[in-house]
Structure 1
């Protein structure tokens, strides 16, 4: 039903603009490419909004591979170009987020009345106003999984290329930590479909390679971890040491693989002056609830927040108080 509704919206629009969140990850980029294919399958021009100055190292290799494909890369435009193209007959599709403050170009939301939201995060208080269609499935592994399912019910006129299928599969693999977290039977169905369309798992591994200095930085954060409550690891960077959000998230992911750890939090100063916290859980502890109490959000097992006008020490103290309230107040659900 969602796929059919999406098809009608695309066909009734002048063009389709697609954007994910700021500093897009592989899930946001892969899902955007999937929506682009839906537009093309319905004979509509589509463009993906991407800020070339806001690309994290985690997705850089994927973007470099896309740049080699002239046909695919020609569909990527800057937020400035998107503002010139958008009209009230444009269909704007937002993927992998539903918060106006997090989208690639917030001004686009006010330029058209036709907005679709496709996301796998649990709905937060902040939400895009008056969307035409919302497809949110918090139990899905990734937005790429949801978009892949939509693709399967679209007209068969256009075929997924190897790179396009690989981009979607990359989003699923990254968000599930190689099919270990938030993975349901539909996740494997979507991955199987993409593999049948030529998705290259070796290329996915190439996308996920990392630099040695990034590995060392992450290890430095992991080294500072200690156990706060049983099974809960908290790591805090030093004052003056700035880490990007990807490294903070990767450190939290790595801590979760350690024996006895069921939940991890990594706190660090960010380059924008804020304090970033990345939270991960195996599922027994709802880190989304904890991060929401710190004005953040995310998913049951994967959440984060950014705090302004505070220090690492104060952020850690606040986090520990909220963790205590979570357990003592019976907020485990």
Structure 2
């Protein structure tokens, strides 16, 4: 028959082994490169561990560890993509624009946990709160945007505004999350008929923009040509101005020389100027200088004699 003392010893040793095992297993823990940990002392947050590696703590139940990832997460708003199977949630994506049109808009939010303590204990379900905040931010921005901006060139501005508003909401809720990026996936009209009508309007607008661009291009071309012509005319005018200025200076120099000669011999210079002027005015006229003494004017027709060329005597055919 087993003694009571032996039972007590066996039970004590078993409990000691169990306690030592718990202590041995729960006094150390590891943090991976992609993780961060929160240390709880009797259920109260003590500190946050972000350095990877092996760490030591007090055994359970004095201290416990909660781990969360440091990786970047993607929130798919309005749809889900699991193993290549895409499922849409039109009730979440249907919203009204600022000019009272209906669009379907979904997006992806890139976020990460920046404060594990707040993420774990400031909200019961921070992921759901992030989803609802994304919906509120997107609907608010789309509700203040025109449909043209949402469907065409205004997407980048809408993304920036959604990120700013969403970050403000998340900061206000204080759940330890930071929004890194917001990317619109699809923004489209609710049915085929509306899409067809909007496509027609968009095509007309694109045609108008093309024509406007062509008109501006032609205008710029003509302006450049006109500016070139103006520059050429100005250059020619400057050249003519310079030429005339030089000619005027030359004429002044000639006049000064003539005036100096005139002062020395006024009669001769006067006759010379008259003759030169007649030669310029009547370049093909013959000029005769005669002395008119009141009697019959006589002159010797030298010009006529100059025109008569003496002919060389013809050689006789028999001359050798």
TM-score by length of 2: 0.19
Answer 1 or 2: which has greater helix percent: 2
Higher RCO (CA-CA < 8 Å; seq separation 6+)? 1
Query: TM-score, normalization: structure 1?
Result: 0.19
Over alpha carbons, which structure has the higher Rg? 2
